[in-house]
Structure 1
Amino acid sequence: MQLDQRFTQAWATQSAWLNLLRPLSGLYGLAISCRRYLYEQKILKSYRAPVPVMVIGNITVGGSGKTPLIIELVNFLHYFGLNVAVISRGYGGQGPFPRIVEDDDTPDNVGDEPVLIVQQTGVMMAVSPNRQQAIELILQHTIPDLILSDDGLQHLALQRDLEWIVLDVDRGLGNQQLLPAGFLREPASRLQTATVIEHGKAAQTDLTMQLESCALLPLITTTKAGTAKTGLNPRPQAGARVHAVAGIGVPQRFFNSLKELGFELIEHAFPDHHDYQPSDLDFDEHLPIIITSKDAVKIQRFAHLLPEKDIWILPVQAQLSKACYELLLQQLKDLNIGIPNLDKA
Structure 2
Amino acid sequence: MGAVPKLLLRSWYAPTWVTVLLMPVSFLYRAFMAVRHLLYKSGVFAIQEFDVPVIVVGNLTVGGTGKTPLLIHLAKELVAHGYKPGIVSRGYGAKGPYPVRVTPSTEVLRSGDEPLLIARSLNVPVVVDPDRVNAVSEVLKTGPVDIVLSDDGLQHTRLGRQLEIVVIDGKRGLGNGLLLPAGPLREPPKRLNSVNVVVRHGGVPKPGESSMETSLGAVVNINDGRESTLVSFKKKKCVVITAIANPDRFFQQLSDEGLQFERVEFFDHHYFSLEDLQNYQNSTVLMTEKDAVKCQTLAGQDWWQVGQNIRTDGEVVELVLQAASDGSVV
Alignment TM-score, normalising by the size of structure 2 = 0.91
Question: Where does residue 321 of structure 1 map in the other structure?
Answer: 313
1:182 CA displacement: 0.8
Q: 1:214 aligns with which of 190, 204, 217?
A: 217
Answering whether residue 102 of structure 2 is matched by residue 110 of structure 1, we say no
Letter aligned with residue 320 of structure 2: L
Output the CA distance in 2 between the equivalents of 1:152 and 1:323: 21
Output the CA distance in 2 between the equivalents of 1:136 and 1:94: 20
What does 1:18-33 correspond to in 2, within 5 Å? Answer: 18-33=19-34
CA contact (8 A) 2:218 2:227 kept: no
Question: Where does residue 191 of structure 2 map in the other structure?
Answer: 190
CA contact (8 A) 1:85 1:123 kept: yes
Distance 1:56 1:336, change over 3 A: closer
CA contact (8 A) 1:14 1:174 kept: no
What is the percentage of aligned positions where both structures have the same residue?
35
Question: Where does residue 57 of structure 2 map in the other structure?
Answer: 56
Output the CA distance in 2 between the equivalents of 1:271 and 1:287: 21
Output the CA distance in 2 between the equivalents of 1:36 and 1:272: 28
Q: 2:288 aligns with which of 289, 292, 303?
A: 292
Output the CA distance in 2 between the equivalents of 1:327 and 1:239: 44
Distance 1:152 1:249, change over 3 A: same
Aligned residues: 326
1:11 CA displacement: 1.9
1:231 CA displacement: 8.8
Q: Which runs of 5+ in 1 are unaligned?
A: 221-227, 338-345
Q: Which runs of 5+ in 2 are unaligned?
A: none
Query: What do the CA deviations read for 1:19-65 (whole angstroms, capped 9, x no partner)?
Result: 22212111111110110100111111221122111011001012110
Distance 1:13 1:268, change over 3 A: farther
1:238 CA displacement: 2.8
Question: Where does residue 303 of structure 2 map in the other structure?
Answer: 311
Q: 2:243 aligns with which of 247, 254, 276?
A: 247
Answering whether residue 72 of structure 2 is matched by residue 68 of structure 1, we say no
Letter aligned with residue 19 of structure 1: V
Alignment TM-score, normalising by the size of structure 1 = 0.88
SS in 2 for 1:29: helix
CA contact (8 A) 2:231 2:257 kept: no
CA contact (8 A) 2:13 2:176 kept: no
Output the CA distance in 1 between the equivalents of 2:49 and 2:144: 15
Letter aligned with residue 280 of structure 1: D
SS in 2 for 1:298: coil
Distance 1:336 1:240, change over 3 A: same
CA contact (8 A) 2:101 2:128 kept: yes
Distance 1:86 1:234, change over 3 A: closer
Output the CA distance in 2 between the equivalents of 1:59 and 1:336: 23
Distance 1:328 1:178, change over 3 A: same
CA contact (8 A) 1:216 1:235 kept: no
